[in-house]
Amino acid sequence: MELLSPIGLDKQVVHDGATWLDKELMREGSRSLREAGFGLEVKRDIDRRKQVLVQRGDAQDLGQGRIRAPRDLVQRLEAREIARVGRAMAADRGRDWTPVKPGSRFGGELVGSTRLACGRFAMIDNSMGFSLVPWNDALERRMGQQIAGVGIAGGGVD
């Protein structure tokens, strides 16, 4: 069994960040869903998600249930959620939050992780503030240690 998302389909429809539904939407056509049960529920929620994306200006309505979305829609939505969560965490902790952008370096102590709708993220504390970076299973054994890296295109890190 695989966890596809930490939030239910109904919440994914209106979520402000990237969701499993968005990933399915962007690969629509390459995978056919059954017209019953969970497959039917996903199809309905993808249609509802399309409407939300159009209402928010993230996609353009082409009519007849079709939309035009930028190729990097998932990365844009993920960045939006990371920024929202990063700012909220900074306010709660009284610390600065620094986004990791392609080419930017980060470093500090791996102090924890947080799960967002788009995945798990590591919290890297550099004593003046912190950054949120995509989780990697290799980080599990580095908790409490100093790590460093650089942001790469597409929202990843090295």
* pTM for the predicted model, two decimal places: 0.83
For position 33, what pLDDT does the model report? 63
Confidence of residue 144 (pLDDT cuts 50, 70, 90): very high
For position 83, what pLDDT does the model report? 93
More confident residue, 153 or 84: 84
For position 11, what pLDDT does the model report? 95
Asked if residues 77 and 22 have their Cβ atoms less than 8 Å apart, the reply is: yes
Confidence of residue 145 (pLDDT cuts 50, 70, 90): very high
Rounded CA gap, 27 and 60, in Å? 17
User: Considering the chain, what is the average pLDDT of its residues?
Assistant: 88
Query: Given strand 96-97, what is the order of strands in its sheet?
Result: 96-97, 129-134, 119-125, 105-116, 146-152, 156-157
